[in-house]
């Protein structure tokens, strides 16, 4: 067993450096994972700009982790075993004792750890994590393909699955980036009429190839009028954090229609209560999924081959990956690999 491992840790806001650390030892309810791949997410940009708490070591970012268990604590259930391939998402393990946990709302745990922010993440060769965070990875999915499903995939899949929309309904997807390109595929395979709204026409071809039936360029077209001409929509899935755009789209919702927010913007929504009340429309948010829900997203991805469009980079190039993401150059998810078979 190695006594050290390599990792990319935050040294200053937005900047990572390669370091060698002592190999962590899992406690009774933890496992040690040898990482094969880790996706790069927009939240990683915020995490790398957030300083570690006073007295705490520099943080290792990354929360779309796929690897194999190499050690497990004495209290880890037998469903998890060494050499098993597992994933870890934004949720770093629920406590099982707070009120949300006791109510079965494990993703809303009050004591949830957050890989890359409140505990170390996956830009590394190894990571220690609570067993309650573990996600089983289907054997037919590669580690590289599975990694983005643990965040972008499960967020959009679960939101659509819990939306009340039915096959044949019109679904408008705002944004065609890392989350949006997964939402397009899932919505198409679930039987919806898919309308994609993005800024500029350069993503139209990709959107159509991924399953969009209509594409609206928000820079050159009146989005509201186009949606009304299509007869309105049953669901708006907002993957982009644009409060003004979401606010403008709400009147296009059909009676009892719903808007689900996935991106967190910095400005409030502008909502006329009468417009919501008169047609019984709904605006809600959707948080990241539980491990069990994420396993459903992975299974669906395997069955219907709704695979992420990715760029692979060695984890030593994590700074370059973050810069591509920061500049909006990623098409559509970047996955860091640890020079192992994946």
Q: How confident is the model at residue 23 (pLDDT cuts 50, 70, 90)?
A: very high
pLDDT score of 339 more than 80: no
pLDDT by residue (tens digit) across 94-112? 999 999 999 999 999 999 9
pLDDT score of 288 more than 70: yes
Mean predicted confidence (pLDDT) in 278-284: 95
| Distance between CA atoms of residues 190 and 164, nearest Å | 12
In this predicted structure, what is the pLDDT of residue 70? 98
pLDDT score of 293 more than 60: yes
In this predicted structure, what is the pLDDT of residue 341? 43
pLDDT by residue (tens digit) across 216-245? 999 999 999 999 999 999 999 999 888 999
pLDDT by residue (tens digit) across 301-329? 999 999 999 999 999 999 999 999 999 99
Query: Are 62 and 10 contacting, i.e. CB atoms less than 8 angstroms apart?
Result: no
In this predicted structure, what is the pLDDT of residue 75? 97
pLDDT, mean over the chain:
95
| Distance between CA atoms of residues 236 and 319, nearest Å | 34
In this predicted structure, what is the pLDDT of residue 84? 98
3-state SS, one letter per residue, for the chain: CCCEEEEEEEEECCEEEEEEEECCCCCCCEEEEEEEEEEECHHHHHHHCCCCCCCCCCCCCCCEEEEEEEEECCCCCCCCCCCCEEEECCCCCCCCCCHHHHCCCHHHCCCCCCECCCECCCCECEEEEEHHHCEECCCCCCHHHHHHHHHHHHHHHHHHHCCCCCCCCEEEEECCCCCHHHHHHHHHHCCCEEEEEECCCCCHHHHHHHCCCEEEECCCCCHHHHHHHCCCEEEEEECCCCHHHHHHHHHHEEEEEEEEECCCCCCCCCCCHHHHHHCCCEEEECCCCCHHHHHHHHHHHHHHCCCCCEEEEEHHHHHHHHHHHHCCCCCCEEEEECCCCC
Query: Are 5 and 125 contacting, i.e. CB atoms less than 8 angstroms apart?
Result: yes
128-138 in b/e burial notation, b at 16+ Cβ within 10 A?
A: bbbbbbbbbbe
pLDDT score of 340 more than 80: no
In this predicted structure, what is the pLDDT of residue 342? 40
pLDDT by residue (tens digit) across 102-139? 999 999 999 999 999 999 999 999 999 999 999 999 99
pLDDT by residue (tens digit) across 60-71? 999 999 999 999
In this predicted structure, what is the pLDDT of residue 225? 96
| Domains assigned to the chain | 4-150+289-337 (3.90.180.10), 163-285 (3.40.50.720)
Q: How confident is the model at residue 9 (pLDDT cuts 50, 70, 90)?
A: very high
Task: Tally Cβ neighbours within 10 Å of residue 230.
Answer: 16
């Amino acid at each position: 067993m190695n006594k050290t491992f390599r990792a990319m840790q935050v040294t200053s806001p937005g900047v990572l450096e390669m370091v060698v650390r002592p190999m962590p030892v899992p406690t009774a309810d933890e496992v040690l994972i040898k990482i094969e791949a880790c996706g790069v997410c927009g939240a990683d940009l915020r995490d790398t700009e957030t300083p570690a708490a006073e007295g705490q070591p520099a943080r290792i970012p990354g929360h779309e982790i796929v690897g194999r268990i190499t050690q497990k604590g004495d209290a880890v259930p037998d469903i998890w075993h060494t050499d098993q391939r597992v994933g870890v998402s934004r949720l770093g393990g629920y406590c099982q004792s707070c009120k949300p946990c006791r109510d079965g709302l494990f993703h809303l745990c009050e004591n949830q750890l957050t890989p890359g922010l409140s505990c170390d993440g996956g830009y590394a060769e190894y990571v220690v994590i609570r067993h309650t965070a573990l996600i089983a990875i289907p054997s037919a999915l590669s580690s590289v393909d599975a990694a983005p499903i643990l965040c972008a995939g499960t967020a959009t899949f679960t939101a659509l699955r819990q939306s009340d929309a039915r096959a044949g309904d019109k679904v408008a997807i705002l944004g065609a980036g890392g989350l949006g390109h997964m939402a397009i595929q899932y919505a198409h395979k679930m039987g919806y009429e898919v309308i994609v709204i993005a800024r500029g026409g350069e993503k139209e071809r990709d959107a159509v190839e991924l399953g969009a039936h209509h594409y609206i360029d928000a820079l050159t077209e009146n989005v509201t009028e186009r949606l009304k001409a299509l007869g309105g929509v049953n669901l708006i899935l907002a993957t982009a954090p644009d409060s003004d755009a979401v606010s403008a789209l709400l009147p296009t919702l059909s009676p009892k229609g719903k808007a689900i927010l996935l991106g967190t913007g910095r400005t409030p929504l502008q909502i006329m209560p009468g417009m919501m009340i008169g047609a019984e429309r709904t605006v809600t948010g959707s948080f990241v999924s539980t491990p069990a829900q994420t396993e459903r997203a992975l299974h669906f991805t395997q069955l219907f081959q709704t695979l992420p469009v990715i760029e692979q980079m060695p984890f030593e190039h994590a700074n370059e990956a973050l810069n591509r993401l920061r500049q909006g150059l990623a098409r559509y998810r970047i996955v860091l690999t640890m020079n192992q078979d994946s």
